[in-house]
Amino acid sequence: MTIDPALVKSSFAIVEPHGADVAGYFYQHLFEHNPSVRGLFAEHLADQQDRLWAALGALVTHLEDTDTLVGILQGLGARHAAYGALPEHFPAVGASLLATLSHFAGPEAWTPEVEASWTAVYAVVADTMGQALTAAGPSS
Ligand code: HEM
């Protein structure tokens, strides 16, 4: 599966103006489908919501700059070891992320090609973050 950077950027540009609603929808979806991960997150999610979506924006911006992208993902992955995140959490987060993007992009913009590109992007994200997370090991 290949990534079409133009499709990823144009679909993200439709979703991004929805601001905090996007992050709110994402966490609601994630916790509704995976109640067990709720305890990993702080009780008040406001700051965290901004950081996650800022990180996604940075990933989209650097999509074609592999060195920068891999550096961001390795840093994120290593820090996630301390948050109690596990490689097996990544599919759940990916499913909620895609559900959120599809919801806010709307049926016309969320074409099969857009979905395939985002699926491929998330595979790179989960793989690179997951490796850095495992290398960093569980922190006590
Ligand atoms: C697309 C993949 C992901 C991205 C872009 C992402 C992004 C972020 C960012 C930017 C932060 C803020 C702190 C920092 O920069 O280190 C954060 C914190 C956190 N992330 Fe992620 N994350 C991802 C996947 C995951 C997964 C799979 C889990 C596992 C459930 C997870 C759990 C957490 C937790 C527990 C925190 C700390 C929240 C708190 O302080 O309450 N993240 N994440």
Digit-by-digit pLDDT tens for the chain (140 residues) are: 689 999 999 999 999 999 889 999 999 999 999 999 999 988 777 777 778 888 999 999 999 999 999 999 999 999 999 999 999 999 999 999 999 999 999 999 999 999 999 999 999 999 999 999 999 986 54
Q: How far apart are CA 8 and CA 67, in angstroms?
A: 19
CB of residue 80 inside a 6 A radius of ligand 1? yes
pLDDT score for 45: 74
CATH 1.10.490.10 fits 5-136, yes or no: yes
Residue ID of nearest Cα to ligand 1 atom 3: 52
pLDDT score for 52: 85
CB of residue 56 inside a 6 A radius of ligand 1? yes
108 C-alpha to center of ligand 1: Å?
30
CB of residue 93 inside a 6 A radius of ligand 1? yes
Q: What is the DSSP letter of 41?
A: S
The DSSP H or E segment spanning 14 is helix 5-15
89 burial via Cβ count (<10 Å: 0-12, 13-18, 19+):
buried
